[in-house]
Amino acid sequence: MCLLETVPGIDRIGAAMLLVEIGTDMASFGSAERLASWVGICPATTRAPANAKSGRTRKGNAWVRRLLCEFAQAASRTRCALKDKFSALSIRKGHKRSIVALAHKLLRIVYAMLNHRGPYQDRTVDYEALVVQRNAPRWLKMLEKHGYLTAT
């Protein structure tokens, strides 16, 4: 559950609800595409005249789909790569379709995280700089306390 909380937009209660619905064993789904199909978050690929694809989502697990759309809504308001993805999509596709596309991306991220047991790493955030920025005052204070630095 703590792994899922590293993804922007997913909180503790949402992570718990998602894990209750899909579980932690991703081997039962086989791939992220099958999980997305089970949830019903991937667009249907019905063929129409002139090979046009419909943009409607399939029937699936409505609870997980709603959760993922809420996560996508929250992630679209954070400072991360998911916000950039949402911004790029919303120009072309509109708000609602962009939320569904972002929810699909979040589900693929969750699948990969649960499959590999690793935390989410955003490509736009410099985690080392954040740690240094957050902890540098405390580190300097401790160095001064133990006599390694003099207050200037």
> Mean pLDDT of residues grouped by 10 in the chain (152 residues)?
84 92 88 90 66 67 90 90 89 91 92 88 73 88 87 63
The 3-state secondary structure of 50-66 reads HHCECCCECCCCHHHHH
Rounded distance between C-alpha atoms, residue 69 and residue 133, angstroms: 32
Residue in 137, 114, 134, 116 with CA at minimum distance from that of residue 126: 134
For the entire predicted model, the pTM comes to 0.73
Q: How many domains does the chain have?
A: 2
| pLDDT at site 71 | 94
Query: Is residue 68 domain-shared with residue 113, that is, in the same domain?
Result: yes
Task: Determine the residue type at 1.
Answer: M
| pLDDT at site 25 | 86
Rounded distance between C-alpha atoms, residue 8 and residue 6, angstroms: 6
| pLDDT at site 47 | 60
- Provide the CA 9 distance to its chain's centre, in angstroms: 7
| pLDDT at site 24 | 86
| pLDDT at site 100 | 92
Range of the domain at 114: 4-121
Query: Is residue 101 domain-shared with residue 147, that is, in the same domain?
Result: no
Query: Is residue 91 domain-shared with residue 42, that is, in the same domain?
Result: yes
- Any residues with CB less than 8 A from the CB of 111 and at least 6 apart, and which? 26, 29, 31, 32, 35
Task: Determine the residue type at 20.
Answer: V
Query: Is residue 103 domain-shared with residue 148, that is, in the same domain?
Result: no
Query: Is residue 47 domain-shared with residue 100, that is, in the same domain?
Result: yes
Tell me 41's DSSP state.
-
Query: Is residue 117 domain-shared with residue 130, that is, in the same domain?
Result: no
Query: Is residue 88 domain-shared with residue 136, that is, in the same domain?
Result: no
Query: Is residue 48 domain-shared with residue 102, that is, in the same domain?
Result: yes
| pLDDT at site 44 | 61
What is the per-residue burial (b if ≥16 Cβ within 10 Å, else e) of 93-116? eeeeebbbbbbbbbbbbbbebbbe
